[in-house]
Amino acid sequence: DQHGHVVHLHERDCSVQRRHQKVVEIAPAARLQPQLRERLASDAVRLARQVGYENAGTVEFLVDQSGSYYFIEVNSRLQVEHTVTEEITGVDLVHAQLQVAAGRSLPELGLEQDKIRVNGCAIQCRVTTEDPARGFQPDTGRIEVFRSGEGMGIRLDGASAFQGALISPHYDSLLVKVVAHGHDQPAAAAKMRRALAEFRIRGVKVGPRGAGEQ
C-alpha cells in the first residue's frame, strides 16, 4: 500500500505452459517444502518493500529439482491466474487494488499477514479456441453451441464465450477461465475434470483436449 505495508498472498504453481503461455495454474503449489515456501514468500515481500512497490503484483521465480530458486521478474499488474489466489485466501484482489489506490492501508482492509490463511486448493484451466490437430494454433469462427460446466466449487470467468459469438483472429484465444476449489488438490482436480467434461462447444476448436466437443 502507500503506507509501507507489504503482505504476500502465498504462491501459485504455473509450470504447465505451452509456447510460454500458462495453461493450468494451481494454488498453493504442490510438493513445495515448507522452508522453501517461506523463503520464496519472504524474498517477494523483501523485494516489494525495498523498491517501495504499491499495488498488487506477482514476483516470479523458477525452482529447480534441488530446491534452488531463481528470480525471473515482477509482473506489476493483476494476472490472469489471480483467481486461484482469490479462491484460497478469500481476498477480492480487484477490490483491494481499488481501495489501495484510493489511499487505504492494508490493515484497514483486514489484510495483515497473520490473518491471510490458505483454505484448500484451487486449480484454473484456460479453455481456448485452439486446434490440437494443428499444434494448438488459434482457431476462428462462430460458436454454434456453448454450454459450460458448473456446480459447487466451480467458478467461471468468461468474456466472449456464448452461443453466436464470433471469434476473431485479432484477439486472445482465451474463451473462459474455469476455476475449481476443493479442500485439497485431489478434490479440486476431481471437480475440474467433471467441469471440463461437461463443456459443450461447437463451431470452433477448443483446448485443452477433452474440454467439451470439438
User: Active-site residue numbers?
Assistant: 77
CB of 178 within 8 A of CB of 124? Answer: yes
For the record, the C-alpha cell of 28 comes out as 498453493
CA distance linking residue 27 with residue 88, whole number of Å:
7
CA distance linking residue 89 with residue 42, whole number of Å:
18
CB of 159 within 8 A of CB of 146? Answer: no
Q: Helix 82-89 and helix 93-101: axis angle, to 10°?
A: 100
Q: Which helix (H) or strand (E) holds 36?
A: helix 34-51
